[in-house]
Amino acid sequence: MAHRVILLESAHAFTVEEGESILDAAGRAGVAMPHECTFGGCGTCRVKLMEGTVGYEEFPLALSEAEHAQGYALACQARPLSDLVVAIPARGPLLAEPVRATASLARIHQPCNDVVHVTLALPEGSLPEYRPGQYMNVLLPDGSARSFSMASPPRANGTEIELHIRRIPGGRFTDTVLAQAAPGMPLHIEAPLGTFCYHPEDYRPLLMVATGTGLAPIKAILESLLDDPDCPPVRLYWGMRTEADLYMRDVIESWKDRLYEFEFVPVLSRAGPSWQGRRGHVQDAVAQDYDDLSEHAIYVCGSPDMVAEAKAVFATLGASMDHIYADSFTFQQAVTAG
C-alpha cells in the first residue's frame, strides 16, 4: 500500500510505494533530502516523525533504539507504515558544495603498523573552505573512489590537507596506490563532503569519542579550537588495541594548555601488562566516568558497530539525541565516483 509523506519545513509532498524507502521515493519525486551513504551507516538522512510510523527490513546501525523511541528515523532505510509528516532536523552551519581538484602527494609516512599519514598539496583556492570534520573522496582511474576524513583543519594558506589511512592487507589503495607512491604524484579528489563538523552554536562541554583512524575528523575539529577563547571544556576518549597503536599520542598531549579544561583518556582493548591506563571499550570507559551526559555535545567517530553501541550507551546516561554527532564508516570504503 502506498503512503503519502509531507516534509514539514517545505510542505513538499510525495508518495512512497509499498516496500520503498522514504529517501528513494523523495529522489523519484525530485525532492531533495540530506543523505550520504544510503545504507543506514552514517545517519545523515536522520528525520523526525511528527505523525505516522515506519518500519525497517533491518534496523539500521546509525539509529539507536532510544532515537527510534523518540520518533527519529533514517530516511534511506525507513518504510512508511502509514501516511507521514516528517521534519528534517537543522543541520548546523552551511556547508560548501563539493568540487573536484587535482592534488599532489607532498609527504607520506607510517607512524604505526596499521596507519599511514598522507599529506596532500593543493593549489591555493582549488577547494572551497571546508568544515573541520568533513571528508574527501580520492578518485581512482576505474571510476571508483576511496573516502577519507580530512585530519587537518583549513590552514591560512589552504594548500595542505592531512589524511590518516588505515592499512588494509591486500587493499587496492593502501597496498597498490600508496605502495607505489612518490612525492609529487597527482591524485584526483572531490571535497568537501559530509555533514560531520563542529557545532559552535551548542556551546556545551565537548565529549569526543573515537576509535582507530576515526580520530582524524575529531583531530581536525580540536585543532581548529586550539587557543580559541570560546572553546568549551573538552574531554577526548580514543580507543585503540595496543599502546603502540596510539600514533598521535604526543600531539594530543601537547594540546593540554591550548584547549579549555582538556582531558585525554586513551583506552586500550588489548593492552599489555605494563599499561597503566584504561582498558576495554571506549564507550564503556565513558560510561564509567559519567552519570549524566544531558548537558554535553558528543562527537563519535569510528566503525558503525562502535558508533551504534556508543549512542545506545550514551542514551542511557541522558544524552540528548539532538546533540550527538556521529561519523560511522567502514575504513577505506569503496564508493562510486559519479
- pTM for the model stands at 0.82
User: Is the preceding omega at residue 154 within 30 degrees of 0, hence cis?
Assistant: no
Grid cell at residue 13: 509532498
Res 169: pLDDT: 74
Res 90: pLDDT: 66
Res 141: pLDDT: 82
Res 92: pLDDT: 62
Domains of the chain, earliest start first: 3-87 (3.10.20.30), 99-195 (2.40.30.10), 200-330 (3.40.50.80)
- Sheet strands (E) in 130-228: 135-139, 144-149, 160-166, 186-193, 206-211
* pLDDT averaged per 10 residues, the chain (length 338): 91 93 95 84 87 94 85 94 89 79 93 92 89 93 88 81 87 76 90 90 95 96 96 97 96 97 97 95 98 97 89 91 79 44
Compute the Cα dihedral for 125, 107, 216, 140 and give only its sign: positive
